[in-house]
Structure 1
Amino acid sequence: MNKILVFGHQSPDTDAITSAITFSHLQNELGKETEAVALGETTDETNYALNYFGVTAPRVITTAAEETQEVMLVDHNESQQSVPDIDKVKILAVVDHHRIANFQTANPLFYRAEPVGCTNTIIFKLFKENNVDIPKHIAGLMLSAIISDTLLLKSPTCTKEDENVAEELAKLAGVELEAYGKALLKAGTDTSSKNADMILNDDAKNFPMGNLTVRIGQVNVVDVDEILVRKQELLEEMASQSDANAIDLFILLVTDVLNSDSIAIVYGDEQAEVSKAFNKEITDATMVLKGVVSRKKQVVPPLTAQFK
């Protein structure tokens, strides 16, 4: 019997990669035969966490049906964010903290979705509920995901539950939460060696909104100017990828992790509607978003409402 594959979304961030690893570990402890895999290469931030806790990055797959009949999804549920042949395999389980959209199955499944800041917060609870011990390296990866997804517990997506879990995981992982968190976030902010495609797509997702396909990427930095000086290059790459992939609107959220603000670079014919969604002016394809750090909670909802 083939292994059950466990994976997060395309263009995987730290939560997508680590939740595949941690949930796979839990399932194996419960008697299943699973393997954590990835739908894209790991980012610098994720690599920092993996290296710190001595864990090998999952292998990357482009299809699932060629090697298994059964999969488990973490940190996503929408089909356009998953493996391309998701319709050809049986989904046994989903653990997620995002909206539920474009999702249906032919068979019953385990589905756990909660409005918390990170998928690994839910997976932590599943370990506890099943009385499975959390090893140091698994605790470290869970903690890294919570830090990443909540910007060290400062994002509006962060809940008291995320905070409590992070504190407990820091003890299990043997790290000081604030110091490790800052080092992790800093590791993911160096863009000097990245080309335009990497900046746009290392952490990007497609969202159907009305009749449109909207792609929203996010890059965390400590100095937004290092991205803004490359705006023309990024807009040209956005144009090329939009034409090639039928993207109607492409937005890059440039997030200052120190000040918890963002600048949005916007490409597409719907800029007027984007401006209305946020009640902000777009000047030279750029929009200032004070206090905005969360794609999931502060960017996707107003856009979805605008394009409904």
Structure 2
Amino acid sequence: MIFVTSYDSPDLDGVACAIAYSELLNKEGKKAKAVYYGELGLEVEFVRQFTDSLSIEQYTGAFPPDSQFILVDSADPDQLEKNIIPEKVIEIIDHHPLTFTDVFVNAQKTIELVGSCATLVTERLQRENFIPSREAIIYLYSAIISNTANFKNPITTERDRSAALYLRSLVELPDDYVKEMFSSKSKLTKDNLYEVIFQDFFAKPINGKRVGIGQIEIVDLDETVTRLWDELVVTLERIRKEDKLDYIFLVGIDLYKGHTMFVSIDEESRELFSKALSVPDLKTKHTIDFIMMRKQVWPKVDAVLENRS
């Protein structure tokens, strides 16, 4: 059995790619299943409700001894479920600049810097002349729109636009579909704030220090942060203690306005990210007028910490 999976608690991109790519593999006569570990976010739930389908299975426990794995939207062993043995990974499809492909010695690798991994999977389907299910088409299209912030994200490429246009031509969607999808993951409250931030929070060691960066992508970012500021500080402090972090940071994306807010709750983290982002006057809440995703922040943080003695 080939298990197609992504990082723990995957976002819409990872889920979409796993669903669509497993369909292609099964069409080719390879026994494949899309699986995930952890939890799924509000955006995935929106697409699930819209399509009335979610062809990916939550997996727990160990895999059978003869299992093989294909990773989508991830090439970082630290983000994977511990039951996945790197030597059994036979293929990787990813779009992130930070990869650890040397760990996966037996994997065929497609690592290309586009806005969404769903773009790479869509291109593969096109090359194979395979049209997936309506469900998979909608998941892939939604993932590209989400990852590129409806093409406002600077990491968007023409390949992303072309893939989305192709997918959109295959399915009927309401005119307000994108607006409703973005609104679905913007419903942050005191009760779900920790869950939402933790679900899309990554931490890793860099040169002896443990760094964590969260990311939220919502509409009405400024108003939401102001309304939930006290709870946000408590949430980030809780995550820092639970994950034993030396530095913690939050990247907030406003999907409508196309700007980014950086949030830091302590002086040490603010100093690190001030250097990493080349913003000398980085504030507790600091806004820039363009989109910068977490995946663009990580290399900058790496560069600062790796150069420290």
User: TM-score surpassing 0.5?
Assistant: yes
Q: Give the 3 Å change call, closer, same or farther, for CA 180–293 of structure 1 in structure 2.
A: farther
Q: Give the 3 Å change call, closer, same or farther, for CA 228–9 of structure 1 in structure 2.
A: farther
| Alpha-carbon distance in 2 for matches of 1:88, 1:116 | 24
Q: Report the counterpart of residue 78 of structure 1 in structure 2.
A: 76
Whether the aligned pair in 2 keeps the contact of 1:255 and 1:263 (CA below 8 Å) is: yes
Q: Report the counterpart of residue 225 of structure 2 in structure 1.
A: 227
How many residues of Structure 1 are paired with residues of Structure 2 in the alignment? 303
2:200 is aligned, of 196, 203, 210, to 203
Whether the aligned pair in 2 keeps the contact of 1:231 and 1:265 (CA below 8 Å) is: no
- C-alpha distance after superposition, 1:135-177 (max 9, x if no partner): 322211110110110011111111001001111101112226x
Q: 5 Å matches for 1:80-229?
A: 80-87=78-85, 90-105=88-103, 107-175=105-173, 179-192=176-189, 194-224=191-221, 225-229=223-227
Q: Which runs of 5+ in 2 are unaligned?
A: none
AA at the equivalent of 1:38? Y
AA at the equivalent of 2:276? A
Measured after TM superposition, the shift of residue 67 of structure 1 is 7.0
Q: Give the 3 Å change call, closer, same or farther, for CA 18–193 of structure 1 in structure 2.
A: farther
Q: Give the 3 Å change call, closer, same or farther, for CA 126–223 of structure 1 in structure 2.
A: same
| Alpha-carbon distance in 2 for matches of 1:63, 1:238 | 30
Between 147-156 and 190-199, the greater mean CA deviation after superposition: 190-199
- Residue identity over aligned pairs, in percent, reads 23
- C-alpha distance after superposition, 1:196-231 (max 9, x if no partner): 321321222224433322221111222222233323
AA at the equivalent of 2:169? K
Give the SS at the match of 2:131.
coil
| Alpha-carbon distance in 2 for matches of 1:37, 1:188 | 22
Q: Report the counterpart of residue 37 of structure 2 in structure 1.
A: 39
Q: Give the 3 Å change call, closer, same or farther, for CA 290–173 of structure 1 in structure 2.
A: same
| Alpha-carbon distance in 2 for matches of 1:36, 1:106 | 20
Whether the aligned pair in 1 keeps the contact of 2:215 and 2:250 (CA below 8 Å) is: yes
| Alpha-carbon distance in 2 for matches of 1:87, 1:123 | 23
Whether the aligned pair in 2 keeps the contact of 1:11 and 1:201 (CA below 8 Å) is: no
Q: Give the 3 Å change call, closer, same or farther, for CA 288–67 of structure 1 in structure 2.
A: farther
Whether the aligned pair in 1 keeps the contact of 2:3 and 2:68 (CA below 8 Å) is: yes
| Alpha-carbon distance in 2 for matches of 1:41, 1:216 | 18
| Alpha-carbon distance in 1 for matches of 2:4, 2:61 | 12
Whether the aligned pair in 2 keeps the contact of 1:152 and 1:182 (CA below 8 Å) is: no
Whether the aligned pair in 2 keeps the contact of 1:218 and 1:295 (CA below 8 Å) is: yes
Q: Report the counterpart of residue 6 of structure 2 in structure 1.
A: 8
1:275 aligns with 2:274: yes
AA at the equivalent of 2:11? D
Q: Which runs of 5+ in 1 are unaligned?
A: none
Task: Extract structure 1 runs of 4+ deviating beyond 4 A.
Answer: none
Measured after TM superposition, the shift of residue 73 of structure 1 is 0.7
Whether the aligned pair in 2 keeps the contact of 1:71 and 1:89 (CA below 8 Å) is: no
Measured after TM superposition, the shift of residue 242 of structure 1 is 2.0
- TM superposition score normalised by structure 2: 0.89
